[in-house]
Amino acid sequence: MSRVAAIQMASGPNIGANLIEAERLIGMAVENGAELLVLPENFALMGLTEEDKVEACEDEGSGPIQGFLSRQAATHGVWIVGGTVPLRSPQAGKVYAACLVYDPSGAVVARYDKMHLFDVRIEASQENYTESLTIVPGERVTVVDTPFGRLGLAVCYDLRFPELFRCMLEQDVELFAIPSAFTAFTGKAHWEALVRVRAIENLCYVVAAAQGGYHINGRETYGDSMVVDPWGNVLDRLANGAGVVCASLDLEHLRGIRRGFPAISHRRLHCCDEAAKRL
């Protein structure tokens, strides 16, 4: 068995301060035996405005945020899913929200750009979000081999689109990492249900790392970071505030569930086949 961790933060607009906090929490996770660590969406920067991420964006392969992630992975000899990092895009005034996976040598082994952008108005809480103003959507599904199984990547709002997860299932995924920053309002209504159903319908582990608390920009995020097993059981969780959620991951347990309850092989429709080829 392996130990995995979801790191929960309440990040602000100061990148340096956020990285110091992330380093502290990474150390806690390592002390708890974690070998795979997942940071939340926007872990290094929750700006005062959406444009702050554009000003702080980095070129792929260089920059203080990417350097930090690489050093932490190499220093501790662990795998790190780096939440999201704002990477430069070809479009002026826009970035990619890139989820980067680092191996224990500090090398990047996978990148996923957030595909579904949060352009919504929440009437009940009078909140407006338009991520497409500053973010270019990704176009590729990402699944990567790790010692913990086939790891698939999704970010926050992606959680609401089951076809993305089915496309990853077509690539033999066994574990999802889902860095997130759900709003307090939508999180209360849907977060746990969505995380658990993605585990249940795909018979996969899920490591869901969230922002959780009050932010200087006025946002409140829901938190409730959790690790869920392929039967939908919540193995560990943290309601709100900064901290670490740890649990054991057992691939033999996963594969045993899939053998005994072969819902995946019982599918009659494989709509992702052609779509995945285009991505």
Pair 116, 158: CB distance under 8 Å: yes
Choose the catalytic residue: 114, 131, 204, 246. Answer: 114
| CA-based nearest residue to 84, from 35, 137, 31, 120 | 137
Q: What is the mean pLDDT of residues 245-255?
A: 97
| Sign of the alpha-carbon dihedral angle for 54, 211, 249, 157 | negative
Task: Find the domain containing 202 and state its range.
Answer: 2-278
What per-residue confidence (pLDDT) applies to 255?
Answer: 96
Q: Which residue matches tokens 């826009």? A: 94
Residue 154 pLDDT > 90: yes
Q: Confirm whether 188 is a catalytic residue.
A: no
The CATH number of the domain where 25 resides is what?
Answer: 3.60.110.10
pLDDT band at residue 269 using 50, 70 and 90 as cut-offs: confident
pTM for the model stands at 0.95
Residue 260 pLDDT > 70: yes
Q: Confirm whether 57 is a catalytic residue.
A: no
β-pair type (95-102, 85-88): antiparallel
Residue 18 pLDDT > 70: yes
Torsions phi, psi for 227 (to 5 deg) = -115, 130
pLDDT band at residue 153 using 50, 70 and 90 as cut-offs: very high
Percent of the chain surpassing pLDDT 90: 91
The runs of H, that is alpha helices, within the chain are 15-31, 52-55, 64-76, 162-169, 184-186, 192-202, 251-260, 272-278
C-alpha torsion angle, residues 239, 24, 72, 43 (rounded to 10): 50
What per-residue confidence (pLDDT) applies to 127?
Answer: 81
Q: Which residue matches tokens 């932490």? A: 72
Q: Confirm whether 41 is a catalytic residue.
A: yes
| Residue range 190-214, pLDDT digits in tens | 999 999 999 999 999 999 999 999 9
Q: Domain tally for the chain?
A: 1
pLDDT band at residue 48 using 50, 70 and 90 as cut-offs: very high
**How many residues can be counted in the chain?**
279
Choose the catalytic residue: 156, 167, 246, 272. Answer: 156
Q: What is the mean pLDDT of residues 99-113?
A: 98
Separation CA 279–CA 26 (nearest Å): 33
What per-residue confidence (pLDDT) applies to 273?
Answer: 56
DSSP bridge partners of 251: none
